[in-house]
A = this chain, B = another copy of it.
Amino acid sequence: MTTQSGLTPSNLTDTSRIEAFSDGVFAIAITLLVLELHIPELEPGERLWPALLHEWPQFAAYLTSFAIIGIMWVNHHSMFRQIRRADRGLMFLNLGLLLWTALLPFPTSLFAEYLQDDSFDAHVAAAVYSTNLTLAAIAFSSIWWYVLRNHLVDHDLNRSQVRRSVLRYSVGTVLYAAAIGLSFISAPLTLLVQFLLAVYYGFEQLRTRS
């Protein structure tokens, strides 16, 4: 399995340094979200408390993206507990997932700024946010498909388990893609649905495991 041509003793490694690097990116991205929160600039006569309340979209977007990155980390954790070997293909697919994770603070900030805009721009911002999450879901699916196909999992799963796991990732991707469509109906509703999807994925995983 491991050919030793070239400099490297093996093209397969354990996953510990991938996990450490990924944990780093997840931890930094989730913490950088706070930099997108801005202190309100008060106009003369304006009070701080109503000005903060008026900024609820940025707090709602912050909370939603925090929940999403947090649950992505939990799920990344769960997935990699089942992966025992890594090759460069897995490293690159994982970099793809990290790309969409590290990028998330940008559409979060965009979404927050345009959430209450009464023009078509609110729909565009919601769609950009949902597209980012759809691409992250596709990246998750592609990692799982790759590790199954290249026998990098810890133990061979039976066909029913493989089918269920692939189905779960596919459904997730479809739900996120549907949220792109929803963006053109209502931006605030899209944010709420994204938050509920994150919570659901947290609990749904809990349920299938117990």
Q: A residues engaging B (CB < 8 A)? A: 3, 5-9, 11, 13, 17, 19-21, 23-35, 37, 39, 42, 47-49, 52, 62-63, 66-67, 70, 73-74, 77-78, 81-82, 88-89, 91-92, 95, 98-99, 102-106, 109-110, 113-114, 119-121, 124-125, 128, 154, 157, 161, 164-165, 202, 205-206, 208-210
Take A47-B120, A66-B99 as given contacts and tell me if A82 and B8 are in contact as well, using a CB distance cutoff of 8 Å.
yes
B21 touching A19 by the CB < 8 A rule?
A: no
Residues in B with CB closer than 8 Å to A3 are: 209-210
In the complex, A113 Cα to B82 Cα: how many Å? 43
Interface of A is mostly: helix
B8, B82, B120: the one contacting A78 at CB < 8 Å is: B8
- The answer on a CB contact under 8 Å between A25 and B19 is no
A209 to B6, CA, bound (A): 6
Whether A25 touches B31, Cβ cut-off 8 Å, given contacts A8-B82, A48-B124, A98-B70, is yes
